[in-house]
Amino acid sequence: MAKALDGIAVLVTRPVHQAENLCALIERQGGNAIRFPSIEIAEPRDKQKLADILQRLREFDIAIFISPNAVDYALQAMMDQGDGLPEHIKVAAVGKGSAGQLNKHGVSVDIFPSQQFNSEALLAMDEMQAVAAKRIVIFRGEGGRELLADTLSSRGAIVEYAECYRRSKPEVGTNELFDALSQGGLDIVTATSNEGLQNLCDMVAEPGRSDLLKLQLIVVSERTRRLAEELGFTQPAIIAQNASDEMLVEAITKWQESRPAS
């Protein structure tokens, strides 16, 4: 019986430790998942600064987790210090993946957008409005958007970042990817962050980059769609409903179904 992604080769750029479920879903639908991590996750450069904030966790009223990586690295750091989240802290998650990862660790999520899964949706929630004088800690990677902190500060909150991991460009071989590009062995690319997409383009030199830019791209935000346009992708990027593996596969499947029959 034919499957939805039979004959479709998908470049998966998630970090190594986060790619396997997406690859399995693609392969279950008959697709060929080509693993090429374009971003690497590691401990933060300043672990002492994170440790200092964790020692003061009881001062905070709300803890916001930006990503599944923020969940994993923050909770591991708490365990390393022999403590966990104080019971009085309200826990907020920006995305579905973050909320799911918190639940896996046995942490209940108090504040979580039910429709769009991004900073804008979290900020629109009632619980994020009356935050004057509230102390809020944002667990995130090094760098990133300032929208959450800036908006909450403008509403009177006292906001601190707890940067618990960092993203970097992996040192990986590119021969297999170059071969796939030059031989027309790729159909579509998934990119789940701006930094990952930028790294991918930086890692692929000419003539492979020209071939890469001709491929269909699946992204998870309007910001990444705009970056793809700036980088020179010739086809408009498709935005998945959210960043979950299931929605990425759904977006790939809809794209495949919409293609003209050969």
pLDDT tens digits, 74-113: 999 999 988 889 999 999 999 888 999 999 999 999 999 8
Q: Tell me, yes or no, if the pTM score tops 0.75.
A: yes
Mean of the per-residue pLDDT values of the chain: 93
The confidence band for 114, taking pLDDT boundaries of 50, 70 and 90, is confident
Kind plus residue range of the DSSP H or E element containing 140: strand 135-141
**φ and ψ of 141, to 5 deg:** -85, 170
How far apart CA 253 and CA 26 sit, in angstroms, is: 9
pLDDT above 60 (res 250): yes
**Which fold is adopted by the domain 42-168?**
Rossmann fold (3.40.50)
The radius of gyration of the chain from alpha carbons, rounded to an integer in Å, stands at 20
| Backbone angle region of 252, left / alpha / beta, with phi > 0 → left and psi within -120 to 50 → alpha | alpha
pLDDT above 70 (res 261): no
Query: 2 and 256 in contact (C-beta within 8 Å)?
Result: no
Q: Specify the pLDDT at position 10.
A: 97
Is residue 219 packed enough to be buried (19+ CB in 10 Å), middle (13-18) or exposed (0-12)? buried
How far apart CA 72 and CA 75 sit, in angstroms, is: 5
Residues of the chain with CATH 3.40.50.10090: 9-39+170-258, 42-168
Give the pLDDT mean for 138-150. 91
For residue 71, the Cα-to-chain-centroid distance in whole angstroms is 12
What contacts 80, CB < 8 A, 6 or more positions away? Answer: none
Give the pLDDT mean for 212-238. 96
pLDDT above 90 (res 209): yes
pLDDT above 80 (res 260): no
Query: 174 and 203 in contact (C-beta within 8 Å)?
Result: yes
pLDDT tens digits for range 40-84: 999 999 999 999 999 999 999 999 999 999 999 999 999 998 888
pLDDT above 60 (res 124): yes
How far apart CA 93 and CA 119 sit, in angstroms, is: 9
For residue 18, the Cα-to-chain-centroid distance in whole angstroms is 10
Give the pLDDT mean for 162-168. 94
The confidence band for 262, taking pLDDT boundaries of 50, 70 and 90, is low
Q: Specify the pLDDT at position 82.
A: 84
Per-residue burial over 59-94, b = 16 or more CB atoms within 10 Å of its CB, e = otherwise: ebebbbbbbbbbbbbbbebbeeeeeebeeebbbbbb
How far apart CA 97 and CA 87 sit, in angstroms, is: 22
Is 43 in a helix, a strand, or coil? Answer: coil
Per-residue burial over 106-139, b = 16 or more CB atoms within 10 Å of its CB, e = otherwise: ebebebbbeeebbbebbbeeeebeebeebbbbbb
Residue type, 91: V
Higher-pLDDT residue of 115, 43: 43
Give the pLDDT mean for 143-155. 92
How far apart CA 13 and CA 19 sit, in angstroms, is: 8
pLDDT tens digits for range 179-200: 889 899 999 999 999 999 999 9
**Which fold is adopted by the domain 9-39+170-258?**
Rossmann fold (3.40.50)
